[in-house]
Amino acid sequence: MAQRCSILTSVDDLSDGDISSIFFHARSQEFNEYKEAVLMTAFFEPSTRTRLSFEMAAHRLGMGISTFTQATSSQQKGETFRDTIDNLLAMGPDVLVIRSSQSLEPKNFHTHTSIIINGGDGVHEHPTQALADCFTLLSYWRLDNLQGKKILLVGDVAHSRVAHSNTRLMKRLGAEVILLAPRQLQLQDTMGQALQVESYKQLPCDVDAVMCLRIQKERIQEGCLMSDADYRKDFGLSLDRFSTLSDQCVVLHPGPMNVGIEIERDIALHERSLILEQVRHGVVIRAALMSHMLWGKRWL
């Protein structure tokens, strides 16, 4: 089949036209079949939603699927991340989705044929999650963009790749983004992309959506963490706190949720919770993205 080399590590790799095309195809859910194409997933960190939704999307497109499993791989015999990726690419998957604890550098990939998609890299980005989240909001509000919407991201914005990709993409789509985090989990520099506050009392306005984020304990040195109880008290989204926000405000969480810390169960199940919509849309967005990258216009 026709091949192209394309790498998506950041939402900034997408043009406005790419984003519109991906949302259009996700909305129509009319996808071509790619029976000769193979998706390979290589996850070096745990995942429930991202890996399986890529695999579900590949099934929807009629693709073959090949799954790398770190625990039974030759990484157990000392093979490095770099060598593993080079070897996976040498096998010629049409699409390789990588999740890793280190940032993915396009210059490190040796391929002229495979499409490479970031499935979440270190504290850098998670572009397909942001596409699914923004698509969820656009679908709920029946809008083509997020002009005039105010979106609050609450939690560990310093280490959350979801927050980084979402801040960029939500801004691109016209939203005002507010980041609420304890001081030690704030971004050093928002590069003018978002207002940053450290308590609900400092919110400058009503918000249309709130996204709760888990604390990325695996990326934070011990001793720099606040206790779960303190976090819940000051930042956790409870029914009481939710009732102080606009009565139209919707709730998002990219998962995995730590129920009872950043979000209470009754909020996750609330009629204005879009959390499972984010998961449903994760499949169609990844199908639309792979379809776009496999056969859409020239990429990058």
Q: State how far the Cα of 106 lies from the Cα of 125, in Å rounded to an integer.
A: 13
Nearest distance in Å: CB 132, ligand CP: 8
Q: Which stretch binds ligand CP (CB under 6 A): 215-223, 231-239, 249-257, 260-268?
A: 249-257
* Residue closer to ligand CP (CB basis): 176 or 252: 252
290 contact partners, CB below 8 Å, separation of at least 6: 34, 39, 54, 57, 58, 61, 63, 95, 115, 117
**Total binding residues for ligand CP by CB under 6 A?**
10
87 touches ligand CP (CB under 6 A): no
Please report, to the nearest 10 degrees, the dihedral formed by the alpha carbons of residues 18, 23, 29, 31 taken in order: 0
User: Given candidates 9, 21, 41, 47, which one binds ligand CP under the rule CB under 6 A?
Assistant: 47
Does 118 participate in binding ligand CP (rule CB under 6 A)?
no
48 touches ligand CP (CB under 6 A): yes
Is residue 125 within 8 Å of residue 11, measured between CB atoms?
yes
Judge whether 151 and 178 are in contact, CB under 8 Å.
yes
Termini Cα distance of the chain: 20
In the complex with ligand CP, the residue whose CB is nearer, 213 or 296, is 213
Q: Does 41 bind ligand CP (CB under 6 A)?
A: no
**Would you say 129 or 136 has its CB closer to ligand CP?**
129
CB 89 within 8 A of CB 40: no
- Among residues 92, 148, 204, 256, the one that binds ligand CP under rule CB under 6 A: 256
**160 in contact with ligand CP (CB under 6 A):** no
Q: Does 101 bind ligand CP (CB under 6 A)?
A: no
Closest distance of CB 2 from ligand CP, Å: 30
Question: What is the rounded CA–CA span in Å between residue 214 and residue 261?
Answer: 8
Per CB under 6 A, the segment of 43-51, 80-88, 134-142, 192-200 that binds ligand CP is: 43-51
Residue 129 binds ligand CP, judged by CB under 6 A: yes
Strands, E, within 89-244: which ranges?
A: 95-100, 115-121, 150-154, 176-180, 195-197, 209-212
Cβ-contact 214, 258 below 8 angstroms: yes
67 binds ligand CP (CB under 6 A): no
Distance CA 79, CA 294 (A): 30
Q: Which residues bind ligand CP (CB under 6 A)?
A: 47-50, 120, 126, 129, 254-256
